[in-house]
Structure 1
Amino acid sequence: MARIHITDIESAINWWRERKPSPDGITACAEVRELAQGYALMVYYHQTDCDEASLSAKALDAWLAWYATTPDAPCIAICSTSQGDDVCKGCGRTFDEVQHWPVMTPAEKRATWRRITMEDTAWRFNRYAERARSASGADHPPPESLLPLPAEGKA
């Protein structure tokens, strides 16, 4: 069973706090209170993650509502596992993760997202991401490392 990382619980709490702000600056909405119970126990016991079954049904529902707002697959449409790589150069998922993604649980998907984000080696986290940002019409020029090199003999 996949485990939910404390940063995902925290993100869900903050998402709910933004969605349903406190009317008086003190009272939290029901979803935040449910998630906060699990979060507090994780902090108290110095745990970085918990399994889905350790959360109350209401806390899990609140977490799943936040999860539904996150990107599903990390795919950037450059799948090197189809060319025989054990780990995709584009998204950073293993061959098994790519193949089983449609049947993975939300917690399993978030664990994969966390791993590939922490590894920070997939193309989605480097020059490909920079090129995508510059192609999207960003107001800033691409980094110097992405500019074309001058042809030899030309200045």
Structure 2
Amino acid sequence: MDTIHITDLEAAINHWRARKPSVDSALAPEVAALAEVYALMAFFHEDEADALRMPAAARAAWLAWYATTPDAPCIAICSTSQGDAVCKGCGRTEHEVQDWTAMSPYAKRAAWRRITREGTAWRFNRYADRVRNGP
């Protein structure tokens, strides 16, 4: 199931709030659409929403935000090609590295959340400056 984590929903809301600040206390359509989903998640104490069951406007706003995020966590140091099950450079599994281009935006964000939460990949320590400057 393709899901959107609440932290990504918050990031998308903040993205749209910065791009389209409210005028006369009226929310931008993207913010309003995402806020409705966010409110329901908060009410029901859920941390993920089914992307395919979201209103089309909310899903479109999230996907537009997603398009502004970095695609792959790769830092051009791939240890899966050397037989590691998890890449030391970016933190993705061998399966994720191989299938990245075919993965849905939702699956990619789930992988990003996992590797960021773990924080063990070289992109977060020894090569953090390489990430900032690009591979």
Question: TM above 0.5, one fold?
Answer: yes
SS of residue paired to 2:127: helix
- Contact preservation (8 Å) 1:2, 1:111: no
Runs of 4+ in 1 over 6 A off after TM superposition: none
Deviations 1:108-150 (A, max 9, x none): 00000000000000000012114x379x5xxxxxxxxxxxxxx
RMSD over equivalenced CA pairs, Å: 1.4
Q: Once the two structures are aligned, what percentage of the paired residues are identical?
A: 64
- Contact preservation (8 Å) 1:5, 1:48: yes
Q: Distance in 1 between matches of 2:131 and 2:99?
A: 29
Residue of structure 2 in register with 1:152 after alignment:
none
SS of residue paired to 1:50: strand
* TM-score normalised by the chain length of structure 2: 0.94
Residue of structure 2 in register with 1:10 after alignment:
10
Structure 2: gaps spanning 5 or more residues: none
**Further displaced range: 1-10 or 101-110:** 1-10
Q: Distance in 1 between matches of 2:82 and 2:53?
A: 40
Map 1:1-150 onto structure 2 (within 5 A): 1-24=1-24, 26-130=25-129, 132=130
Deviation at 1:51, TM superposition (A): 1.6
Q: Which entry has the higher C-alpha Rg, 1 or 2? A: 1
Residue of structure 2 in register with 1:142 after alignment:
none
Q: Distance in 2 between matches of 1:7 and 1:37?
A: 15
Pairs aligned (count): 133
Letter in 2 for 1:37: E
* TM-score normalised by the chain length of structure 1: 0.82
Q: Distance in 1 between matches of 2:76 and 2:27?
A: 41
Structure 1: gaps spanning 5 or more residues: 137-155
SS of residue paired to 1:4: strand
